[in-house]
Amino acid sequence: MKENDIRWEQRFGNYRKALAQLQKFIDKGELSELEKQGLIKAFEYTYELAWKTLKDFLEFSGQTDIYGSRDVTRKAFELNLIEDGEGWMDMLQSRNLTSHTYREEVAEEICRQITELYFSLLTLLKAKLESLHSK
């Protein structure tokens, strides 16, 4: 087994665990202010693992010259690993906002996007990678 094979599989395992944690916030429904902060942090962590897992998988599959999350998103969309490239780019933008913005209205909007769109995109990625992993 090659190191890249092991790496993407290990990262994928961590991604699944992070997604399960994010699921707990989604399942809870109405969140307090503190829980919303937890939702955003869980999203940040899950998103980071998502694009890094994709990067490792792409490298394992022989793709080169992929450096950042934008490159990974474009290539993953091109190869049909993700379906909604625009949604993933929006997710990247929201992820970047969470690091630099402390305004309540921005946090509220990001929480809404996480629950209404981003979580489903992250879940679809998990299903896609599981189908490829089992082959």
- Among 104, 100, 117, smallest CA distance to 47 is for 117
Q: What is the average pLDDT score of the chain?
A: 92
Q: What is the pTM of this model?
A: 0.92
Q: 111-120 long-range contacts, Cβ below 8 Å, gap at least 24?
A: 111/31, 111/36, 111/39, 111/40, 114/22, 114/26, 114/39, 114/40, 114/43, 115/26, 115/39, 117/87, 117/90, 117/91, 118/43, 118/47, 118/87, 118/91, 118/94, 119/22, 119/23, 119/26
Q: Where are the domains of the chain?
A: 3-133
Q: How many Å apart are CA 43 and CA 22, to the nearest integer? A: 6
Which architecture characterizes domain 3-133 according to CATH? Up-down Bundle (1.20)
When pLDDT is averaged across residues 68-89 and rounded to a whole number, the result is 95
Tens digit of each residue's pLDDT (9 = 90 or more) over 16-58: 999 999 999 999 989 999 999 999 999 999 999 999 999 999 9
Tens digit of each residue's pLDDT (9 = 90 or more) over 51-77: 999 999 999 999 988 989 999 999 999
